Amino acid sequence: MTAWEIIFLWVARMVMLGIHLLGDVPFPTVFVAPLVFDAQGRKMSKSLGNAIDPMDLVEKYGADAFRIGVMRQMRLEAQELRFQESRCDEARKFANKIWNAANYVRSLPEGLPGALILPPAQSLTLADKWILTRLHDTIRSVSGSFDGYDFGNATETIWRFFWYELCDWYLEGTKEEGNRETRAAVLSFVLNNALRLLHPIAPFVTEELWLSLPHDGATIMTATWPDPLEVPVDRDAAARFEMAMDTVERLRNERAENGIADRTRAPIAVPRGNGELRELGTLVLHFANGEEAPLEVLPQTPGEYLAAFAVRVDPAARRARLQKERAKLVGEVARGERMLANESFTTKAAPDVVAKEREKLGGYRDELARVEAELASLEERA
């Protein structure tokens, strides 16, 4: 590994001397690391006062968090790394997230099976099949990135898998009663593989957590690299689970639009369904924090079933909220029109300020039109 500014001063000389003296090149591959600049793109120097001492950041955030924070900012296509300390703080929170996830797995009342033992395929839930499919794809992606020296992409990929897919979706979903029978084995299997993927980037926290879970061997350093062929894949099940995820996002937006607090259970229209459809519905209700309001329709496909889900809102309460919102928007539109009709403002103010006000006025008008259309629709259904 070297930096670009010494390729001809040092690397080329080593290659020429190796060929001249030994008849062979001394190394087959050279990794050109980016130079580290500050967030403004200035080269770090003591005179500018923007230089950093890595040991200070290790002391402040931890060695793993510092490594992750730097690695996330590395990109193959760039010859410079604009260092932002905030990424180290994000990485510290990421390490805490992993630690808390491992604590949850270790505390499961049913206990954990031996290392890398999965339940029979027929007993896996929809969520199990989805997270295992995502693990398979993550192993392939991270392995390919490491093989291509794309350390930034490898770090970002394993970050997304740990934070959003494993913790925010699968782990949270295991708290739902219908997903508890297989969760211990699947969580242990997935976490074991994910920690091995993360180990080259964060060696200390992964070693500590790997040893605290069912494992083979004395240290994670000698554990085998995860093999995607050992992870079962079910693309159809994963696609259906992702449809449920999209439905949850839609319902959360509906809750927000109607001013329903996150902790408040909202009535959600749920169509009739059996088997896997019912499993989908249970997942959606859990993640959307909803209580079932039966809907007397019988959809035939998962897409039709999930499309029928909707947050049920009292029409009178929704009308009152929309009327209040309309009154506020009418005031904003009137204010914007008065300001832009004032010749003194439009001629004396900076052009970008005037343009910004015109853009804001257009946005308020569009939003007012949407609110009035919703109110008209409510009146028609009344």
Interatomic CA distance for residues 184 and 182, integer angstroms: 6
> Computed over its alpha carbons, how large is the radius of gyration of the chain?
28
- Write down the pLDDT at residue 96: 96
Do 113 and 188 meet the contact criterion of CB atoms below 8 Å apart? yes
Topology given in CATH for the domain delimited by 86-233: Isoleucyl-tRNA Synthetase; Domain 1 (1.10.730)
pLDDT at 351: 86
Domain locations along the chain: 1-33, 86-233, 237-311, 316-381
Residue 314: its pLDDT value, please? Answer: 67
pLDDT at residue number 53: 87
Domains 86-233 and 316-381 share a fold: no
Q: Which CATH architecture has domain 316-381?
A: Orthogonal Bundle (1.10)
pLDDT tens track, the chain, 382 positions: 787 788 888 889 999 999 999 999 998 888 888 888 888 888 887 778 888 888 999 999 999 999 999 999 887 777 778 888 999 999 999 999 999 999 999 999 999 998 899 999 999 999 999 999 999 999 999 999 999 989 999 999 999 999 999 999 999 999 888 788 899 999 999 999 999 999 999 999 999 999 999 999 999 999 999 999 999 999 999 999 999 999 999 999 988 887 788 888 888 988 887 788 888 889 999 999 988 888 877 777 899 889 888 888 767 777 777 788 888 888 989 988 888 888 888 888 888 888 898 898 899 898 888 888 878 876 766 5
Q: What are the residues whose beta carbons fall under 8 Å from the beta carbon of 315, sequence distance 6 or more?
A: 378, 381, 382
Predicted confidence at residue 201, as pLDDT, reads: 95
Residue-level pLDDT at 274: 78
Q: What is the pLDDT of residues 319-372, one digit of tens each?
A: 777 788 888 888 989 988 888 888 888 888 888 888 898 898 899 898 888 888
Give the model's pLDDT for residue 186. 96
For residue 243 the two structure tokens come to 């449809």
Contact call for residues 152 and 74 (beta carbons, < 8 A) = yes
CB 33 within 8 A of CB 3: yes
Which pLDDT value is given to residue 168?
94
Residues β-bridged to residue 2: 32
